[in-house]
């Protein structure tokens, strides 16, 4: 990496809190499409879509057009005052969803959208117990963090009471050392029974990503989801689907839950809805909204229903359909996965390749027989990729191994995928010499 970038990072650390470990040794001056650039014009191919948000690529022309015209419209309003962009986005979002999901609220982050869903679930059920998956990540605010079972829990005191956990269906590493590469739902059945034993009889909700990203890119298969929903219904648990990363085409559907034969009670959206802008949404049923309203539901933040960001949500659906990006995610995702499997055949350190659409995982191990995770090698490969011109994201947490989360923009080209795979291949070779 260029010395000028290194010096700027060192200077930045004098005034910035290190909120994600160490900062990358790259200062981004601008971004466009599938690339980010430093001030000297060095290009980095972005296989993470920023923070998995720039699903339509960086600085999409339609977004730039909105930015240029933003001075003619309201940017921010009192939370109780609505704007045409917020009203139109609520109508558009409701029209995209099953009839039961028809009530929306617009916020800024995934943490907030999950916070709203959790609060409403507790209010409408009268319960307070919320179940999440091992390794999950639903946000950093108090309620969302309490049902996040990633590496963010230690050192901050007790979580909110009623936070319960079930094991993720991690086929490559069965959480109960039972399956041999194919989940038979035993972990789900055992997990729910264990929650029942801990429960005080005050269940409210279960929250899940259709593809558990931070937990190691673990896909919840249709038959698993069907059984999960049945177990929730038996217990009076409302189902929250957190589609921060999986919505707006990334898994080949507008919303990932459309691949299942169920509809959640709450749908939370963030990252991809704003395409890089701070926009999130929570959608629920008319019945739940009415019951919560009668009980005095309140959720007011400084930027709820901001008109400026809502405009980008409207544009997101236009881009998704005009450019047929959901179909593109399936086609290019299949192609990318095939190339990653070829790398797996070449490199012993790649233990598993998994995921769907353009949301894929590559797990780095010391030994395929023992499946011992190799955190050091994974991080070295990640760093070497950046030096060679590829931005990658790796999950490093005890018990989940070293897992690359690969989520390039849906607008990426086949040529750019080939370039990314070539760089990854070179980085692996350089790091295992």
Do both 279 and 160 map to the same domain?
Answer: yes
Per-residue pLDDT at 86: 98
Determine contact, residues 244/270, Cβ cutoff 8 Å.
Answer: yes
Mean residue pLDDT of the chain comes to 94
Of 376, 384, 395, nearest in space to 424 by CA? 384
- Among 5-19, 299-313, 359-373, 404-418, the range scoring the smallest mean pLDDT is 5-19
Token pair for 291: 């019951």
- Strand, helix or coil at 156? coil
pLDDT band of 398, cuts 50, 70, 90: low
Q: What would the pLDDT profile of 146-182 be if each residue is shown by its tens digit?
A: 999 998 899 999 999 999 999 999 999 888 877 767 7
Looking at residue 386, which CATH number applies to its domain?
Answer: 3.90.1150.10
Identify the pLDDT of residue 278: 96
Residue 72's φ and ψ, nearest 5 degrees, are -90, -5
The single residue of 38, 173, 245, 328 carrying the catalytic annotation is 245
Report whether pLDDT(143) > 50: yes
Do 314 and 198 share a structural domain? yes
Do residue 277 and residue 294 come from a single domain?
yes
What is residue 294's three-state secondary structure?
A: helix
- Indicate whether 61 belongs to any domain: no
Q: What is the DSSP string of 104-141?
A: EEEESSHHHHHHHHHHHHHHHHS--EEEEEBT----SS
Q: Which two tokens stand for residue 3?
A: 């010395």
Catalytic-residue membership of 426: no
CATH code at position 261: 3.40.640.10
Together in a domain, 192 and 277 = yes
Backbone angles phi, psi at 122, to 5 degrees: -65, -40
What stretch of H or E contains 367?
strand 359-367
Indicate if the pLDDT at residue 3 is higher than 80. no
Residues 314 and 334 in one domain: no
Taking residues 296-309, report their average pLDDT. 96
Distances (CA, A) of 67 to 71, 110, 194, 302, 413: 8, 23, 51, 21, 25
Residue 265: active-site member: no
Work out the average pLDDT over 69-97: 95
Q: What is the pLDDT of residue 399?
A: 54
Question: Domain count of the chain?
Answer: 2
- 217 and 75 within one domain: yes
Among 46, 171, 209, 374, the one annotated catalytic: 209
Average pLDDT for residues 14-27, to the nearest whole number? 88
Reference 213, options 371, 54, 403, 30; nearest CA is: 403
Asked if the structure places residue 28 within a domain, the reply is yes
What are the pLDDT digits (tens) for 240-275? 999 999 999 999 999 999 999 999 999 999 999 999
Domain stop point among 290, 322, 354: 322
Q: Cβ contacts of residue 244 below 8 Å, gap of 6+?
A: 52, 110, 113, 209, 268, 269, 270, 271, 272, 280
Q: Is the pLDDT of residue 80 over 90?
A: yes
Q: Is residue 359 part of a domain?
A: yes
28 and 129 housed in the same domain = no
Answer with the one of 322, 341, 374 that is the final residue of a domain. 322
The residue-averaged pLDDT of 314-330 equals 98
Task: Note the pTM of the prediction, 2 decimals.
Answer: 0.95
The per-residue pLDDT for 2 is 54
pLDDT tens for 341-389 read 999 999 999 999 999 999 999 999 999 999 999 999 999 999 999 999 9
Residues 43 and 129 in one domain: no
Interior angle at CA 416, CA 272 and CA 47, nearest 5: 40
Catalytic option among 103, 122, 137, 229: 137
Indicate whether 1 pLDDT > 50.
no
- What confidence score (pLDDT) does residue 178 get? 74
Question: Looking at 38, 242, 289, 416, which residue is catalytic?
Answer: 242
- Listed range (71-75, 107-111, 186-190, 202-206) with the worst mean pLDDT: 71-75
Within-domain flag for 62: no
383 and 280 within one domain: no
Same-domain pairing of 287 and 349: no
The SS3 call for residue 424 is helix
**Which residues form the domain of 308?**
67-322
Distance, CA of 107 to CA of 269 (rounded, Å): 10
Residue 137: active-site member = yes
Q: Partners of 35 in the beta sheet?
A: 32, 45
Asked if residue 318 belongs to a domain, the reply is: yes
Task: Among 322, 345, 363, give the residue marking a domain's end.
Answer: 322
Decide if pLDDT at 400 tops 60.
no
Q: How far apart are CA 154 and CA 107, in angstroms?
A: 28
CA separation for the pair 108, 192 (Å, rounded)? 32
- Residue 254 sits in the same domain as residue 108: yes
Q: Residue 340's pLDDT band (boundaries 50, 70, 90)?
A: very high
Q: Among residues 122, 229, 250, 271, which one is catalytic?
A: 271
| Ordered DSSP codes for 303-362 | TTT-HHHHHHHHHHHHHHHHTTHHHHHHHHHHHHHHHHHHHHHH-TTEEEEEEETTEEEE
Q: Give yes or no: 405 in active site.
A: yes
């Amino acid at each position: 990496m260029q010395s000028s970038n290194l010096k700027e990072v060192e200077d930045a650390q004098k005034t910035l809190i290190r909120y994600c470990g160490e900062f990358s040794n790259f200062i981004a001056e601008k971004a466009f499409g599938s690339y980010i650039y430093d001030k000297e014009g060095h290009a980095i191919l972005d296989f993470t879509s920023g923070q998995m948000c720039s699903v339509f690529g960086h600085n999409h022309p339609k977004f730039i057009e909105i930015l240029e015209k933003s001075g003619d419209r309201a940017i921010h309003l009192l939370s109780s005052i609505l704007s045409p962009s917020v009203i139109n986005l609520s109508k558009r979002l409701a029209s995209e969803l099953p009839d039961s999901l028809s009530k929306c609220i617009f916020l800024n982050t995934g943490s907030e959208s999950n916070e709203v869903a959790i609060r409403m679930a507790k209010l409408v059920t009268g319960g307070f117990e919320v179940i999440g998956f091992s390794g999950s990540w639903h946000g950093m605010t108090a309620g969302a963090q309490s049902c996040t079972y990633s590496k963010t829990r230690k050192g901050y005191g007790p979580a909110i009471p009623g936070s319960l956990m079930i094991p993720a269906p991690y086929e490559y590493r069965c959480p109960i050392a039972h399956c041999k590469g194919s989940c038979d739902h035993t972990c789900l059945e055992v997990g729910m029974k264990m929650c029942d034993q801990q429960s005080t009889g005050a269940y409210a909700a279960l929250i899940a990503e259709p593809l558990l990203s931070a937990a190691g890119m673990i896909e919840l298969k249709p038959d698993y989801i069907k059984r999960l929903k049945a177990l929730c219904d038996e217990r009076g648990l409302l189902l929250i689907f957190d589609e921060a990363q999986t919505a707006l085409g990334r898994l080949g559907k507008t919303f990932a839950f459309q691949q299942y034969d169920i509809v959640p009670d709450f749908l939370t959206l963030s990252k991809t809805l704003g395409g890089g802008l701070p926009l999130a949404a929570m959608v629920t049923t008319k019945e739940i909204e009415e019951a919560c309203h009668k009980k005095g539901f309140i959720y007011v933040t400084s930027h709820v229903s901001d008109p400026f960001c809502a405009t980008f949500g409207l544009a997101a659906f236009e881009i998704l359909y005009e450019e047929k990006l959901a179909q593109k995610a399936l086609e290019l995702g299949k192609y990318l996965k095939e190339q990653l499997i070829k790398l797996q055949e070449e490199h012993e350190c790649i233990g598993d390749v998994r995921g769907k659409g353009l949301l894929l995982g590559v797990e780095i191990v010391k030994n395929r027989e023992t499946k011992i995770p190799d955190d050091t090698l994974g991080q070295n490969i990640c760093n070497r990729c950046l030096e060679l011109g590829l931005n990658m994201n790796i999950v490093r947490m005890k018990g989940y191994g070293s897992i690359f989360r690969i989520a390039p923009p849906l607008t990426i080209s086949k040529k750019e995928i080939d370039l990314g795979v070539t760089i990854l291949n070179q980085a692996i070779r350089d790091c295992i010499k």
